[in-house]
Amino acid sequence: SAVISQKPSRDICQRGTSLTIQCQVDSQVTMMFWYRQQPGQSLTLIATANQGSEATYESGFVIDKFPISRPNLTFSTLTVSNMSPEDSSIYLCSVAGARNEQFFGPGTRLTVL
Protein backbone atom coordinates (compact mmCIF):
# COMPACT_ATOMS: atom_id res chain seq x y z
CA SER A 1 0.00 0.00 0.00
CA ALA A 2 1.02 3.63 -0.44
CA VAL A 3 1.20 6.29 2.25
CA ILE A 4 -0.11 9.64 1.11
CA SER A 5 0.05 13.00 2.85
CA GLN A 6 -1.74 16.21 1.97
CA LYS A 7 -1.12 19.82 2.91
CA PRO A 8 -2.89 21.76 4.23
CA SER A 9 -5.27 19.55 6.17
CA ARG A 10 -7.79 22.38 6.29
CA ASP A 11 -8.07 26.02 5.40
CA ILE A 12 -10.53 28.88 5.50
CA CYS A 13 -10.20 31.22 2.53
CA GLN A 14 -11.78 34.39 1.25
CA ARG A 15 -13.83 34.56 -1.91
CA GLY A 16 -11.76 35.35 -5.00
CA THR A 17 -8.47 33.95 -3.68
CA SER A 18 -6.67 30.74 -4.69
CA LEU A 19 -5.40 27.79 -2.66
CA THR A 20 -2.81 25.22 -3.68
CA ILE A 21 -3.09 21.75 -2.17
CA GLN A 22 -0.06 19.48 -2.09
CA CYS A 23 -0.08 15.69 -2.29
CA GLN A 24 3.01 13.62 -1.47
CA VAL A 25 3.33 9.84 -1.90
CA ASP A 26 5.96 7.63 -0.27
CA SER A 27 6.61 5.66 -3.48
CA GLN A 28 6.72 6.32 -7.21
CA VAL A 29 3.33 5.99 -8.88
CA THR A 30 2.20 6.55 -12.43
CA MET A 31 -1.38 7.66 -11.88
CA MET A 32 -2.57 10.21 -9.34
CA PHE A 33 -6.13 11.40 -9.01
CA TRP A 34 -7.80 14.46 -7.53
CA TYR A 35 -11.34 14.24 -6.16
CA ARG A 36 -13.83 16.66 -4.69
CA GLN A 37 -16.32 15.67 -2.02
CA GLN A 38 -18.99 18.28 -1.42
CA PRO A 39 -20.81 18.26 1.93
CA GLY A 40 -22.91 15.15 2.36
CA GLN A 41 -21.99 13.87 -1.10
CA SER A 42 -19.90 11.09 -2.57
CA LEU A 43 -16.61 11.61 -4.39
CA THR A 44 -16.40 13.24 -7.81
CA LEU A 45 -13.26 12.88 -9.89
CA ILE A 46 -11.76 16.22 -10.92
CA ALA A 47 -8.81 15.03 -12.98
CA THR A 48 -6.20 12.36 -13.49
CA ALA A 49 -2.59 13.55 -13.25
CA ASN A 50 0.12 11.55 -15.01
CA GLN A 51 3.75 12.57 -14.79
CA GLY A 52 5.08 14.11 -17.96
CA SER A 53 1.74 14.90 -19.53
CA GLU A 54 -1.16 17.28 -19.16
CA ALA A 55 -3.80 16.35 -16.62
CA THR A 56 -7.01 14.83 -17.96
CA TYR A 57 -10.06 16.68 -16.66
CA GLU A 58 -13.53 15.26 -16.17
CA SER A 59 -16.63 16.85 -17.55
CA GLY A 60 -17.50 19.97 -15.61
CA PHE A 61 -13.94 20.70 -14.47
CA VAL A 62 -11.54 22.99 -16.37
CA ILE A 63 -7.84 23.69 -16.15
CA ASP A 64 -8.30 27.42 -15.55
CA LYS A 65 -10.27 26.72 -12.39
CA PHE A 66 -8.32 23.66 -11.18
CA PRO A 67 -4.75 23.78 -12.53
CA ILE A 68 -2.73 20.69 -11.65
CA SER A 69 1.00 20.09 -11.58
CA ARG A 70 2.76 16.71 -11.57
CA PRO A 71 6.50 17.44 -11.56
CA ASN A 72 7.59 13.91 -10.60
CA LEU A 73 6.30 10.45 -9.71
CA THR A 74 5.76 11.19 -6.00
CA PHE A 75 4.21 14.67 -5.92
CA SER A 76 1.28 16.64 -7.30
CA THR A 77 -0.52 19.89 -6.59
CA LEU A 78 -4.08 21.01 -7.19
CA THR A 79 -4.94 24.71 -7.18
CA VAL A 80 -8.48 25.91 -6.60
CA SER A 81 -8.60 29.29 -8.32
CA ASN A 82 -10.82 32.32 -7.85
CA MET A 83 -12.72 30.56 -5.11
CA SER A 84 -16.38 30.96 -4.28
CA PRO A 85 -18.41 29.46 -1.40
CA GLU A 86 -19.51 26.69 -3.79
CA ASP A 87 -15.91 25.42 -3.76
CA SER A 88 -16.19 24.55 -0.07
CA SER A 89 -15.49 20.82 -0.06
CA ILE A 90 -13.04 18.15 0.96
CA TYR A 91 -10.37 17.69 -1.71
CA LEU A 92 -8.69 14.30 -1.83
CA CYS A 93 -5.78 12.94 -3.77
CA SER A 94 -5.32 9.27 -4.46
CA VAL A 95 -2.95 6.94 -6.26
CA ALA A 96 -3.44 3.71 -8.13
CA GLY A 97 -1.29 0.88 -6.87
CA ALA A 98 -0.81 -2.62 -8.15
CA ARG A 99 -4.05 -4.11 -9.53
CA ASN A 100 -5.35 -0.52 -9.77
CA GLU A 101 -6.21 -0.54 -6.08
CA GLN A 102 -6.70 3.05 -4.93
CA PHE A 103 -5.19 4.60 -1.83
CA PHE A 104 -6.27 7.97 -0.50
CA GLY A 105 -4.70 10.83 1.33
CA PRO A 106 -6.35 12.28 4.46
CA GLY A 107 -7.99 15.09 2.49
CA THR A 108 -8.00 18.88 2.65
CA ARG A 109 -11.10 20.49 4.10
CA LEU A 110 -11.66 23.83 2.40
CA THR A 111 -14.12 26.46 3.57
CA VAL A 112 -14.64 29.54 1.41
CA LEU A 113 -16.27 32.58 3.01
Partner 1 sequence: KQEVTQIPAALSVPEGENLVLNCSFTDSAIYNLQWFRQDPGKGLTSLLLIQSSQREQTSGRLNASLDKSSGRSTLYIAASQPGDSATYLCAVWGTYKYIFGTGTRLKVLA
Nearest distance, CB of residue 60 and partner 1, angstroms: 13
Give the integer Cα–Cα distance in Å for 28 and 10: 25
Q: Is 88 in the site for partner 1 (CB under 8 A)?
A: no
- For residues 65, 69, 70 and 72, what is the CA-based torsion angle, rounded to 10 degrees? -170
Nearer to partner 1, 13 or 43 (CB): 43
Integer Cα distance of 79 and 55 in angstroms: 13
Interface of this chain with partner 1, residues 68 to 87, rule: CB under 8 A:
none
Residues that bind partner 1 (CB under 8 A): 1, 31, 33, 42-45, 48, 90, 92, 94, 99-107, 109
